Amino acid sequence: MPISDDARFEFDVQGYIHLRGALTAGELVDYGRWIAGVESVDTSALNADDAERVQYHLNRPISRVIDADPRFAGFLDHPAVEPYLVEFLGADYRHIDNELYYTAPGYEGGGWHRGVSEHVVGHVVGGAFICPMVKAFYCVTDVGPGGGEFVVVPGSHRSRLPVETKGRIDLPGQHVFDDVSAGDIILFNEGLLHNGRPNSTDATRQTIIVNFGRVDAGVWSGYAPAPATMDAVTPRQREILSNTTGVWAQPDLSEVM
Ligand SMILES: O=C(O)CCC(=O)C(=O)O
């Protein structure tokens, strides 16, 4: 089922879309169980076959969560998300990296960044999206003001002017996701300036993060799936996990400028 013209317009203009109530209460119960099962996994043991790769991992609390528990591969082609990824990346989209990501009480905030460069056309050419990288946040906890919120600058995927980001919590034009309910999904173009804000509450924000690219996208260093994971997942998930390009590199989009 293709996404609506309204959704295409919204993602093009803003660079993100907030899908409210996209996960059912039953799913959240299941995901809570899976999370409890992986959050204390020994990450050294998980990466014992390649100890070098942990240098690329956040492990807050666990990177390569799909390898820790292949049930998390369901977030590669979740029915609430797949039609959007097909639209923004193509039907043959690929996995780049994946995390179970916690923003704990006391977190001081990250640094503003982008996963890919902004682009004057906003990664739309001839009416079609050509986004090199789109991230999905499966939000499994409520997030209110001060709760370590995710924040983006809408439209910055096509910005033409520099802005000082160093040491700044707030940027002009930002959108703070401070009205998130468990079960919401946020999809965003990684060309957006984005960040995580300080957490002054006593609750941990929990997000399952999966990063995606086009068919020629490589995995982020250290995120190639384990052979056992490839055996455990569905054929569609295996396809999404099968990168033919080695490691992620930013594509050259100069010809569409
Ligand atoms: O959700 C957050 O707090 C920040 C995450 C982030 O910056 C990212 O996934 O690139």
What backbone torsions phi and psi does residue 138 show, to the nearest 5 degrees?
-90, 110
pLDDT reported for residue 204: 98
Confidence (pLDDT) at 1:
82
- 102 neighbors 183 (Cβ within 8 angstroms): no
pLDDT at 255: 77
Tens-place pLDDT, residues 175-203: 999 999 999 999 999 999 999 999 999 99
Query: Is 210:181 a contact under the CB 8 Å cutoff?
Result: no
**In angstroms, what CA-CA distances link 151 with 2, 13, 221?**
27, 16, 25
Structure tokens at 163: 């802005």
- Going along the chain from its start, the domains and CATH numbers come out as 5-250 (2.60.120.620)
Which own/partner pairs from 124-127 qualify as long-range (CB within 8 Å, at least 24 positions apart)?
Answer: 124/12, 125/256
pLDDT band at 253 (very low <50, low <70, confident <90, very high): confident
Residue 209: CB within 6 Å of ligand 1?
yes
Q: Which atom of ligand 1 is nearest to the CA of 148?
A: 3
* 90-128 pLDDT tens trace: 999 999 999 999 999 999 999 999 999 999 999 999 999
Average pLDDT of the residues in 227-231: 98
Q: What average pLDDT does range 235-252 have in this prediction?
A: 95
Give me the mean pLDDT over the 58-77 stretch: 98
257, pLDDT greater than 60: no
Q: Which of 176, 194, 197 to mutate to test the pocket of ligand 1 (most atoms within 8 A of CB)?
A: 194
Does the CB atom of residue 147 touch ligand 1 within 6 A? no
Q: Reading across the β-sheet that carries 133-139, which strands appear in turn? A: 16-19, 185-189, 133-139, 205-213, 94-103, 61-63
Ligand 1 atom nearest residue 194's Cα: 7
% of residues, the chain, pLDDT over 70: 100
Atom of ligand 1 nearest to the CA of 196: 3
Residue 19, pLDDT score: 98
**Cβ–Cβ under 8 Å, residues 229 and 64:** no
Q: What is the per-residue pLDDT for 254?
A: 83
Say what percent of the chain tops pLDDT 90: 97
Atom of ligand 1 nearest to the CA of 190: 10
Ligand 1 geometric centre to CA of 150 (Å): 7
Quote the pLDDT of residue 142.
98
User: Tell me, what DSSP letter sits at residue 233?
Assistant: S
- Gap from CA of 188 to ligand 1 centroid (Å): 11
**Candidates 209, 210, 212: which one to mutate for ligand 1, based on the most atoms within 8 Å of Cβ?**
209
| For residue 169, pLDDT beyond 60 | yes
Measured from the Cα of 113, ligand 1's closest atom is 7
